[in-house]
Amino acid sequence: MLAAYLMLASSMMLVGANVPVAKLLAEALPIPLIACLRCLLACAVLWPLMRLIERPAAAPSRAVMGNLFWQAAFGTALYNAGLLAGLRFTSALEGGLVLATLPAVVAVGSALWLGERLGGRGWGAAALAGVGMAAINAVRAGGGGEGSLAGNALVFAGVVGEAVYVLLAKRNAGRVGVITAAFWMQVFSAAQLLPFALVSLPWLAPGAASAFNAALLVFHSLTASVLCVLLWYGGLRRAPANVAGVFSAFLPATAAALAVLVLGEAFTAVHGAGFILMLGSILLATWPGASGRQRRDQRERRPPGIGGAGARADGPWPPRGS
């Protein structure tokens, strides 16, 4: 079980680490180009992994492919556009805190769109996330600090896109392997982003195509689109699914730590208050509420491999992300 928890924690820490990486990339390269190249790199890695691990006998059905197309549009194209554009204006520290609202947004979306019962804890999580966002943005509205009200709003638009992706993923649960779904979403995302990437080429600054930026792009693509997925669903094979969501707390913590230590951003009292509120929101939204018998049943139902036909593609927060 310890190994599973380490995999879940590592997955979310990599997601958090990609926030300052995304900020560095957004300041150096055109946003559509970053997103498109990231998808193409991910496709090159996911294709052989899909053939080796899951070995699909045929392409997914038309209904599944249609759902994957919209997951790609919201969970990759819109998410990346919002995150990267937002990080051009706001700090990586605040971008990570805004991303931490995702569990609460998914919970509210499940209630409003899918008709699922939210309960007191879900509404409490949404309230804490809202208060945390309001506290941070109140300071931005006054013109203080390194962040940006517009930047935070753009990152939150990306969060909404990611939440739609999570809700759409529930339609495909058990109908397609995790790696197969990830591969086709990257293919669709690359096709959606390619025209915008080509148009953005004239805006590529001289010297932007450096070895440093190339290394950041490769790290960003292979960790966020490949390694995070494998670690997350590998952890879900052994850990109770209703516990896994708690590990999303590592996202804002890692993003904040690297923003301060690597980018030199200032961690203020407002950020501290926002972090506490977001952490409380995450724990309320994801803390295990099932009984011991329910947890045993979940473990018994879990498929034996990460890429099996019944592998969960709708975990507490699939960080295939970005």
What does the pLDDT look like over 160-170, one tens digit per residue? 998 898 888 87
Taking the C-alpha atoms of residue 66 and residue 64, their distance in angstroms, rounded to an integer, is 5
pLDDT on residue 115? 82
pLDDT digits (tens, 9 = 90+) for 170-197: 776 667 888 999 999 999 999 999 999 9
pLDDT on residue 109? 86
> What mean pLDDT value characterizes the chain?
83
Least confident of 33-47, 250-264, 299-313: 299-313
Q: Which residues contact 235 (CB under 8 A, 6 or more apart)?
A: 4, 5, 6, 7, 8, 11, 244, 247
pLDDT on residue 131? 87
pLDDT on residue 304? 36
- For residues 237-253, give the mean pLDDT: 77
Judging by beta carbons within 10 Å of its beta carbon (0-12, 13-18, 19+), is residue 156 exposed, middle or buried?
buried
Distances (CA, A) of 160 to 43, 57, 76, 86, 246: 24, 34, 11, 13, 20
228: left (phi over 0), alpha (psi -120 to 50) or beta: alpha
pLDDT digits (tens, 9 = 90+) for 58-78: 888 999 999 999 999 998 889
137 or 318, greater pLDDT: 137
Taking the C-alpha atoms of residue 125 and residue 117, their distance in angstroms, rounded to an integer, is 14
Q: Map tokens 């739609």 to a residue.
A: 164
Taking the C-alpha atoms of residue 197 and residue 217, their distance in angstroms, rounded to an integer, is 15
**CA neighbours within 13 Å on the CB side: how many for 248?**
32
Q: Which residues contact 115 (CB under 8 A, 6 or more apart)?
A: none
pLDDT digits (tens, 9 = 90+) for 1-12: 788 889 989 998
Taking the C-alpha atoms of residue 161 and residue 23, their distance in angstroms, rounded to an integer, is 19
Tokens representing 73?
């549009």
Taking the C-alpha atoms of residue 268 and residue 287, their distance in angstroms, rounded to an integer, is 28
313 or 99, greater pLDDT: 99
Tokens representing 174?
């058990």
Cβ count within 10 A of residue 110: 18
pLDDT of 84 strictly over 50: yes
Percentage of the chain modeled with pLDDT above 90: 37
pLDDT on residue 301? 38
Highest mean pLDDT among 13-27, 141-155, 287-301: 13-27
- For residues 11-26, give the mean pLDDT: 92
pLDDT of 19 strictly over 90: yes
Cβ count within 10 A of residue 22: 27
Phi, psi of 276 (to 5 degrees): -65, -45
pLDDT on residue 220? 94
Taking the C-alpha atoms of residue 275 and residue 201, their distance in angstroms, rounded to an integer, is 38
pLDDT on residue 143? 59
pLDDT digits (tens, 9 = 90+) for 99-137: 888 888 888 888 888 788 878 888 888 888 888 888 777
Residues 104 and 126 sit within 8 Å (Cβ to Cβ): yes
pLDDT grade for 241, boundaries at 50, 70 and 90: low
The residue ranges of every structural domain in the chain are 2-301
pLDDT digits (tens, 9 = 90+) for 249-264: 888 889 989 999 999 9
297 or 98, greater pLDDT: 98
Q: Which residues contact 33 (CB under 8 A, 6 or more apart)?
A: 197, 200, 201, 204
